[in-house]
Amino acid sequence: MILYPYDGTRFSEVRGVIALFDANTNDLSRRHILKRGLALAAGVAALGPHCVLGEAPEDYTRWAFLSDTHIPSDPDRRCWGNRPYENLREIVSHIGSDLPDGLVVTGDLARRNGRVEAYDNLKTLLTPVVHKRPVCLGIGNHDDRDDFFQAFAGTALGGLPVANRHIVTVDAGPVRFVVLDTLYFVNMMPGLLGRSQRVWLEALLQACDDRATILCLHHTPKIDLLDGGPFFDIIGPMAKVKAVVYGHSHEYEISQYKGIHMINLPATGFNLSRRQPVGWVEAQLTAKGAQLTLHAIGGDRRLAEHTERLRWRV
């Protein structure tokens, strides 16, 4: 999900777009949006003179990775001692003070069953970012596609690449993001890509260029994804796939599997263990690797501001 419009885009192409518009602004055409999303523009200076892994500033992109926001219909509702609404408000304020190039949320946007009111609250919270940067929303097992699409109705641009699946692709400078849909049944634990989505993903990876590709989804691929085996059969031989970013477990962990970096994001809404942080991850990404920094606003903060450096497989 790309929430649009935003200013100063630096992305060569965005697909799977559904726009967040007021009723009087829903006449933007696909051609207009893609025109605004063409060349990787100048403007890196606005982000500051950051470098990662020895790359020049123009050779990297900086994104915020969030997961499991669990925004309730009632903003005052507490969950496991946390107030998810206030947590996300604080995080968006932090992100807004030094805007990255974009933001990805890997599902469980809503508290439990997905409600239009919960998604409306999410839109309100994301407002400071959404008009300036792209926001890519994945959906998880606590989301509801019908309510999700109703809340983010706006203007649908083009058909879904896979029927009844919400997929987003973004070419962002040196990397490509592919946000996949693993929702199987609402409010049930397992996730599923499904054969049609796997076929689509394999075709995409075979056809696209060798840009470093980062796959984003909700479920833990090796544990909670029912077709995790076929998923890795597809991406394992594809050297262009460098990392898989996911949530679901409410745990922060970075590991490797078959040479692919597995980035398990902390939850934004609440943790399930006092040994886990509540927060988000800032990612500086290049064609060669990544630099990941944990920003913790609650829970276990021992790793707060800790940076992990990754080298992509070749």
Q: pTM (2 decimals)? A: 0.84
Pairwise pLDDT comparison (222 vs 55), residue with the higher score: 222
Domain ranges across the chain = 13-311
pLDDT score, position 15: 55
User: What digits encode the pLDDT tens for the residues 169-208?
Assistant: 999 999 999 999 999 999 898 999 999 999 999 999 999 9
Strands 260-264 and 241-246: parallel
C-alpha 227/C-alpha 235 separation (Å) is 13
In CATH, 13-311 is 3.60.21.10: yes
Find where tokens 């790359």 sit: 55
> What separation in angstroms does the CA of 261 have from each of 95, 227, 231, 271, 309?
24, 19, 15, 23, 11
Helical pair 116-130 and 84-97, crossing angle rounded to 10 deg? 20
Segment 16-66, tens digit of pLDDT: 433 332 222 222 222 222 222 222 111 221 222 233 444 544 599 999 999
pLDDT at 272: 87
Q: pLDDT band for 14, please (50, 70, 90 cuts).
A: low
**Quick one: pLDDT at residue 283?**
98
Candidate ranges 137-146, 180-189, 236-245, 266-275; pick with highest mean pLDDT: 236-245
